Structure 1
């Protein structure tokens, strides 16, 4: 299997977007930064930051629907199980010609591989949570989260 440029890009994002530390103050500042970007862009999205099943930040902007709740839950479940972004997982499984949501391996009701959920990885601790956006196209949800993480990490000097 030849690695695609997109797969390499997604892997590089995960290596780049790692925290030295991450606490509830970071949750609020990161979530607020992404929410403010979404507001200024007119995006009707929901944003969620969680440590496993504990929701630490939630913002639902005008235009988001109740369906975003289910997408967030399913996408964050995928990140927390596999410890990779849903965009990376989708690309990896696609490259292998495998759909883990088909054939009974992963329950479609509990997992989704649409882009928009990203692991919160802390050096020395591993994946401690997930940040998820839902309401845009898959790649746009992913980019909203990645841009927010990148901007936030620049401000904290991580």
Structure 2
């Protein structure tokens, strides 16, 4: 599949995976489902779910490190600033770090998959679901699959094809 096709699919994900509401219970349900999957599939990941003003769910599975939490922080910043999935940034720009002229210091922003905007109908993007620990495309896929499942969609309808 061409990069343009992947970009179109990520845009479809962003436009379709919109929650009716978001609160602590939704964050816990999403995060718990991802953790259950991670344990079943032996994924070494960090999961962070938040609104822009506070963290609502965080967990790390065995095999992760402080580096994963740092990647999460930088992915969250990227989603918040550019208002799109961090993996879409990879597809649109490549993985080269931001230049100093972009005003997005690489110490605080990263172009890497795994940050997905949490959108609420009528409110827009209010936060981020972020995964770190797998290759970026897979981090993105875990987030998308969880949102699709929570919304009662077939996750395969939103899955990126293997590279």
Q: 2:143 aligns with which of 142, 145, 158?
A: 145
Aligned to 2:9, the other structure's residue is in SS state helix
The answer (yes or no) to whether the contact 1:93–1:100 under 8 Å persists in 2 is: no
Partner of residue 161, structure 2: none
Unaligned ranges ≥5, structure 1: none
Distance 1:69 1:38 in 2: 16
Give TM-score scaled by structure 1 length.
Answer: 0.89
Deviation at 1:50, TM superposition (A): 1.1
The alignment's C-alpha RMSD in Å is 1.8
Count of residue correspondences:
151
The answer (yes or no) to whether the contact 1:47–1:134 under 8 Å persists in 2 is: yes
- Provide Cα deviations, 1:33-67, integer angstroms capped at 9, x if missing partner: 11111111100100000111411100110011110
Distance 1:41 1:154 in 2: 21
The answer (yes or no) to whether the contact 1:79–1:85 under 8 Å persists in 2 is: yes
Give TM-score scaled by structure 2 length.
Answer: 0.87
Partner of residue 76, structure 2: 76
Deviation at 1:103, TM superposition (A): 3.6
Give the 4+ runs in structure 1 shifted more than 3 A: none
Unaligned ranges ≥5, structure 2: 154-163
